[in-house]
Structure 1
Amino acid sequence: MGTTQLESVPEPKYWHLKTVLTEALDSEFSVGEILPNERDLAARFGVARATLRQALEQLELEGRLQRRRGVGTTVAPPRVGVAVGAEGHTWPGATGDDWQPTDCTDVVPPAAVADLLETEQGEQVHTVRRSRVSQGRPVAAELLYIPHSSVPDLSAIDAPSGAARARAVLRELQHLELEGRDQAVELGSVSAEDAKELDRLPGAPVLVVTTRFHSGGRTAAVSVATYRADTCRLTFGGDIEIHHGPERRAS
């Protein structure tokens, strides 16, 4: 099989246009400003409207633009900095936690999560659903899987369904000694259920952060958090400021 010399592959016209549009956004437009309509933009840059739409769609995926029905295409604000795992020895639901519990049910976890929890096939676990909002915008949705063995005293608590039961499960989890946790981040596609909560279309790109919490030499809980890839900038153990524009540097 032969090899392809990438240098010889011409850059797609829409990708070059995206670069040109990015420079225009940095120099000519401010956050929240409405862009000219597609016909005017296509005429300005001398491209077909189909090419323009491809470039705009890519910029929207990258979080540079927002397209809202009845408003038009506007320049998006910079990504929201979201700290992930800044506190190495804190259980979910501890003081200062930015997540809001919304529901709790007992379900059989996905096979990959069951493997991490080392639960029996078909065994149900407590599943806490939580949401996270930053600067008035939904940025993440989480499913927290907790085996019944991690919160053995829960049955003695008056814990009704919904958010109240979720808070009760999280309170019981605090009684365990947290020995550590590990995390993994990967690119994924938002599910129909999470899409509604995150105000995205199903299938939109998201960042999936999986966290495994260790206690007593075993996995005591697993968190699967879905972050909006178009508006979030995840930080681990600190913060770094990143601005749009080639002339600005990270500090």
Structure 2
Amino acid sequence: MGTTQLESVPEPKYWHLKTVLSEALDSEFSVGEILPNERDLAARFGVARATLRQALEQLELEGRLQRRRGVGTTVAPPRMGVAVGSRQHAWPDAGDDWQAVDCTVTAPPAAVAAALETGPDEAVHTVRRSRVSHGQPVAAELLYVPASSVPALSAIDAPSGPARARGVLRELQRLELDGRESAVELGSARAEDAKELDRLPGAPVLVVTTRFLVEGRVAALSVATYRADTCRLTFGDAGGVVIDEGPERRAS
């Protein structure tokens, strides 16, 4: 690689360097590739290592880079699409990238009980799932399902844990879904979410809350927490539009 000196620009040097580095990621590196060390990168672009670190930190916040302990800084995979406003008649996705972790029967938080219109002390099935993309955790979900929504659930067929979680999801598929309503907000990762998502507490996350409606009532409520640095909101049925991210990072 040749040496590239940054020209004098009015914007902060690290911000201009971030733009230059982003272009280099698109043209010279592939997903998962390890970047050269900081000394070599600083020499290539003619900047101080402190300036380089600022640029790398910004690219990490934007989801372009990942810093992995014991490995180094690597090029991040494309952001995973989080569909909003589409698939109105689909139950929670049970695809290969979602993994059932556990299922307990407990009284939900007061806000959840109010949304489900259950009693404050009425226990519901709480399904915990995790979503993985390119080998890394990107989302953690709590799916709250009243017992009345899955009356045929058998403790014999699905006694506990992941098996019971899959049993609840299977029984939901038997219901005729009228529609679903979703809301998205930016939040900060709580300690338990941060641990599951391999992030620090307080890291930015997208919280997607979805109500599943059957015969005019809320049959289930999903609260899914997505890593903000690995996801993007998509609209419509395809949601595959990506702009200015190079061929290696384009994905539906």
Instruction: Pick the TM interval, shorter chain.
Output: 0.7 to 0.9
Give deviations 1:134-185, integer Å, cap 9, x for gaps.
Answer: 3444332211011223223436755311112212222332343311111112
Tell me which moved more, 29-38 or 222-231.
Answer: 29-38
Correspondence 1:11-50 to 2 at 5 A: 11-50=11-50
| Aligned-pair CA distance for 1:129 | 0.8
* One-letter amino acid of the structure 1 residue matched with residue 224 of structure 2: A
In 1: Cα distance, 2:35 partner to 2:196 partner:
27
Q: What letter corresponds to residue 140 of structure 2 in structure 1?
A: A
Gaps of 5+ in 2: 1-9
Q: How does 1:80-159 map to 2 (within 5 A)?
A: 80-81=80-81, 83=83, 86-92=86-92, 99-154=98-153, 158-159=157-158
Gaps of 5+ in 1: 1-9
Q: CA deviation at 1:201?
A: 3.1
Q: Match of 1:54, as an amino acid?
A: Q
Identity of matched residues, %:
80
Aligned to 1:65: 65
For 1:181-235, what per-residue CA distance to the aligned partner results, in whole angstroms no more than 9, with x for missing partners? Answer: 1111222223333333333333332222111011121111101112232233343
| Shift in Å, 1:72 | 1.7
The residue type equivalent to 2:32 in the other structure is G
CA–CA distance in structure 1, aligned partners of residues 127 and 208 of structure 2: 16
Deviation (angstroms), 1:104: 0.6
- What secondary structure is seen at the aligned counterpart in 1 of 2:238? coil
TM-score (norm 2): 0.79
Corresponding residue for residue 199 of structure 2: 200
Q: CA RMSD in A?
A: 3.2
Number of aligned residues = 241
Instruction: Name the aligned partner's letter for residue 198 of structure 2.
Output: D
Counterpart position of 1:176? 175
2:226 alignment partner in structure 1? 227
Contact 1:157 1:168 in 2 (8 A): no
Would you say the 8 A contact 1:243–1:250 is kept in 2? no
Q: Distance in 2 between matches of 1:249 and 1:198?
A: 23
SS at match of 2:73: strand
Q: Find the residue that maps to 1:154 and give its secondary structure.
A: coil
8 Å CA contact 2:84, 2:182 repeated in 1: no
